[in-house]
Amino acid sequence: MKVSYSTAVLLYAAVANAHPSSFTSEKFQSLISQKSLLSDLKAFDQIASNNNGNRAFGEPGYVASVNHVKSRLEKSSRFKSWTQNFETDSSNIDLLSITVNGKSYNVKMPLGWAGGEARDLDITAPLAVLDWGSPGTCEHPYYNNNTDTTGKIVLMRRVNCHNPGKHSPHVDMSSSSLGYIFYEDNYEPLGVSKRSIFNNNKMMKREQYPFSFIQMSRADGLELTSRLHAGEELIARFQFKTSPLKIESQNVIAETKAGDPNKVILLGAHLDSGANSPGINDNASGAALLLALFDAINQGKFRPKNKIRFAWWAGGQGYLNFGSSHYVLNLSKKESDSILLYLNFDMVSRGRFGVYDGDGSRYGYYGYPGSEIIEKLFEDYFTSMGLPVRPVHWHGDSDYYSFMSPEYVIKPVGGLHGGDALLDDACWQQTCDNLANANVTHLEINTKAAAHALYVLSQTYKEIIPAVPYNQTAASMAGY
């Protein structure tokens, strides 16, 4: 039976009133300690300081972060915890260069690849500039498609916009150009640029003509543009060589010993930072939020009906989701079907009180049935606190993707995210994302919101999440 959104919301209200308990959501929230949150943020910040300024996947700082989480979990009598080891293929960049008429230029962003498998390159071709056409604004940054780019390396300006889904230049990528050089419009962290480029669906769909791209500085891009406009012939050369690298890493997982093992509420946050950042907001904040919920449950006053599982994921930066995808792809059908829903927490110590857009009302992309109820649960909490709340776009940029894609597992999904990286966190992916970048009061509010959602969902899931014809998983789709 399909349950409408409005019916489910009314059902939620009825259930909340029909289940009086001496231990309420408010009492559970009162167990959240700002002191504990700050202590964990300090620990992660110190780990980064001790390990070349980062806690990145595959680096010593990540291993130290895993050990910190393990040390926080291991003495609990109410939880069992373990690590999940896995290995993933990666590569070392042995050579990455761009030269124009023999002059070497600094590469501001490592080479990316779209439309096919990455491979070593050595491309020499004429350089062509692709200028803005009309109207040439952030909302509609169309480029002049009259330029012949076949067999050429294309130079183009990156528009500096931060509206979800509108970051990238809209340009015809169907021609057989050999590569793209983007140059910065204004200063923005390289991670934002790379995310923006990958978000351009027109670019990613060009399967017939795989291509590479890099980014150079604004000054270099303007210099080359000026020379091309003056009629100078420029020959560019891309060189890119890699060697294979295997990265061994770990997810950290903890679950309550009590609770129905066939009804699991799973909460997760990626534990790694970016390569050049301590990653305190992104995403020590999410890791600390989970630890605070663990501490609250560990006190023994809250007895959930459903089993609660926490996961600290490896390799969650940059759309990679190595840890969470490994986790779901290695679940048995029974294990997969036992997971009722997934809640994700990312960049939650500053920015907006952002709630994933489960019903798709803001951005048009919705989650599996039940995701809208999770969104409503968080929204109502923030509204009751007199706080502004904003729907967050499903960019596929965090570990929730592993739980809402046919490639992996399809579940009701929700959670919290601090908003657009550059607008809401000027230190995103940078060295200044340290302890000083976190607002612990903001993190405490988000953690209490998570505690409230967890309390309701772990006690009354069956009554408030609409029934669906099947519980589809990667395993069941594969027939085993």
pLDDT at 121: 80
Give the pLDDT mean for 372-387.
Answer: 96
More confident residue, 202 or 229: 229
The two tokens of residue 426 are 């000027």
d(Cα 443, Cα 397) in Å, to the nearest integer? 21
- The answer to whether residues 274 and 191 touch, using CB atoms and an 8 Å cutoff, is yes
Band (81; pLDDT cuts 50, 70, 90): very high
- The answer to whether residues 467 and 310 touch, using CB atoms and an 8 Å cutoff, is no
Give the pLDDT mean for 239-250.
Answer: 85
Give the pLDDT mean for 374-383.
Answer: 96
Is the per-residue pLDDT at 91 higher than 90?
no
Domains, the chain, ranges and CATH?
Answer: 5-78+257-478 (3.40.630.10), 92-244 (3.50.30.30)
Determine the longest span between alpha carbons in the chain, in angstroms: 79
> DSSP string of 8-52?
HHHHHHHHHHH---SS-HHHHHTT--HHHHHHHHHHHHHHHHHTT
The two tokens of residue 227 are 């020379």
The two tokens of residue 299 are 């006190």
Is the per-residue pLDDT at 7 higher than 70?
no
d(Cα 175, Cα 191) in Å, to the nearest integer? 27
Is the per-residue pLDDT at 105 higher than 70?
yes
